């Protein structure tokens, strides 16, 4: 895009401003009224989530006149989840917003708003934030920072072409993600059909504590490790645990001596059940299945359950947690929720006949095979999306 002019966002915007938290002005949120939009009202792709909307009174909205929204306003998150972008539509109005979302109002007829949304999520803009982030633990952007964002601005015809191209790719990505979610819902529905929930079981099943159903329940190493590339010994924590697999590509490799010192206490074998027990992704789980499993040392943020597989199928246990979320939801006064080992040990679950568990596990594995195909297609589309982003806007 070297032949395309570059402009400051402030030069093409009629207005760049932000809102205020109503409570700072003495107003409370209400059960209904004017929509009050926050970052959580939009997902990572800027899609609107109506169920997340809060409400304020007409009086409060009038007091916050500066941040009253109009259709076509571009919202850009400048605190918390930096860089989330959305366009205000008629369905959201009337609406107001707080200081965590910058309001960018562009009325120039030569500017195509979907292109602006696209470019604000591109590498060319993200790099400008990264420079500001150096040495800062929690980055917050000012309105001055937003005004100074430099973007490439081709003629409107090319803006439309770029937005339509990436819009189609995003549509495919959305479809693939929906398919994956639907397949998970199929497995969940089958689980409930066969077993019901812990509060409402499908029949009178035997019950046991997880301590009775496992040979060992422990967590990972407390404290850090000496990192050393190339050892083939992995230090797996919460961020590497995804539903159905461990992402070894992001796991640090550690010193072999350090590994051997702590591995015996939390040794991981094929078929072991791993669950995140600390932090924002608490409840995420995976069943160890990779050849690198026996070269894995867990961090404290992951609990290890060595299931007695003659009475408890780990696939059944995985879906037991996913259907019965209260098994890992914890109320805590601290900012960091923790699923204590004592709670895991004392958790009571139903224990259907192992043959029935195995039949369910076989069903889940068949659906998972279809998920692998969809996931591969999703990964390929995402790679294409990212490479074109880099090519056009990097």
177, 224, 176, 222: which is closest to 338 by C-alpha? 222
290-311 tens-digit pLDDT: 999 889 999 999 999 999 999 9
Instruction: Determine phi and psi for 87, rounding to 5 degrees.
Output: -115, 130
Return the percentage of the chain with pLDDT > 90, whole number: 73
Q: Which CATH number does 206-351 carry?
A: 3.90.220.20
Q: What is the pLDDT of residue 303?
A: 95
Q: How do the domains of the chain map onto residue ranges? A: 6-154, 157-195+353-394, 206-351
6-154: which CATH topology? Adenine-n6-DNA-methyltransferase TaqI; Chain A, domain 2 (3.90.220)
With 70 as the cut, is the pLDDT of residue 48 above it?
Answer: yes
Report yes or no: 317 and 279 within 8 Å, Cβ to Cβ.
no
Which residues are paired to 242 by β-bridges? 245
| pLDDT of 261 | 85
Question: Does position 80 have pLDDT exceeding 70, yes or no?
Answer: yes
Identical fold for domains 6-154 and 206-351, yes or no, is yes
Give the SS3 label for residue 389: helix
Query: How much is the average pLDDT of 47-61?
Result: 94
pLDDT at 393 over 90: no
Nearest to 272 by CA among 220, 228, 226: 220
Residue with tokens 């029949």: 203
Checking if the pLDDT of 279 tops 90, the result is no
Write down the pLDDT at residue 309: 96
pLDDT of residue 335: 55
Residue 223: per-residue pLDDT: 84
Closest among 348, 246, 255 to 290, alpha carbons compared: 246
Neighbours of 59 (CB within 10 A): 11
Tell me the pLDDT tens digit for each residue of 237-252. 999 998 778 899 889 9
The tens digit of pLDDT for each residue in 206-233 reads: 999 999 999 999 998 888 888 899 999 9
Residue 138 has pLDDT above 80, yes or no: no
| pLDDT for 2 | 56
List the structure tokens of 220.
């990972």
Query: What is the band of 94 on the pLDDT scale with cuts at 50, 70, 90?
Result: very high
Q: What are phi and psi of 35, to 5 degrees?
A: -60, 135
């Amino acid at each position: 895009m070297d032949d395309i002019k570059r402009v400051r966002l402030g030069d093409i915007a009629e207005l760049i401003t932000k809102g205020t938290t109503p409570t700072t002005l003495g107003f409370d949120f209400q059960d209904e009224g004017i929509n009050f939009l926050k970052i959580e009202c939009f997902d990572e792709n800027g899609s609107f989530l109506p169920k997340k909307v809060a409400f304020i009174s007409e009086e409060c909205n009038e007091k916050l006149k500066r941040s009253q929204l109009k259709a076509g306003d571009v919202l850009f998150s400048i605190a918390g989840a930096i860089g989330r972008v959305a366009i205000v539509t008629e369905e959201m109005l009337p609406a107001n917003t707080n200081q965590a979302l910058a309001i960018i109002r562009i009325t120039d007829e030569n500017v195509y708003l979907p292109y602006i949304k696209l470019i604000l999520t591109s590498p060319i803009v993200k790099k400008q934030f990264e420079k500001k982030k150096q040495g800062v633990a929690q980055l917050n952007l000012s309105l001055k920072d937003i005004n100074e964002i430099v973007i490439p601005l081709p003629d409107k015809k090319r803006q439309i072409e770029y937005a339509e191209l990436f819009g189609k790719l995003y549509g495919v990505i959305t479809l693939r993600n929906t398919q994956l979610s639907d397949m998970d819902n199929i497995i969940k529905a089958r689980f409930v059909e066969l077993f019901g929930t812990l509060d409402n079981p499908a029949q009178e099943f035997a019950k046991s504590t997880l301590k009775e159903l496992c040979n060992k329940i422990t967590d990972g190493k407390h404290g850090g490790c000496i990192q050393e590339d190339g050892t083939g010994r992995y230090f797996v924590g919460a961020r590497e645990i995804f539903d159905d697999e461990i992402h070894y590509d992001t796991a640090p490799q550690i010193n072999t001596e350090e590994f051997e010192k702590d591995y015996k206490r939390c040794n991981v074998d094929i078929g072991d059940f791993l669950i995140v027990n600390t932090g924002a992704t608490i409840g995420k789980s995976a069943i160890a299945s990779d050849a690198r499993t026996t070269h894995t040392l867990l961090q404290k943020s992951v609990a290890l359950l060595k299931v007695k597989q003659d009475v408890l199928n780990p696939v059944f246990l995985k879906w037991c947690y996913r259907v019965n979320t209260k098994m890992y939801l914890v109320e805590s006064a601290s900012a960091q929720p923790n699923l204590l080992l004592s709670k895991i040990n004392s958790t009571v679950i139903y224990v259907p006949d192992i043959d029935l568990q195995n039949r369910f596990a076989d069903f889940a594995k068949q659906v998972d095979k279809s998920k692998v195909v969809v996931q591969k297609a999703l990964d390929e589309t995402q790679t294409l999306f990212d490479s074109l982003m880099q090519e056009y806007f990097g």
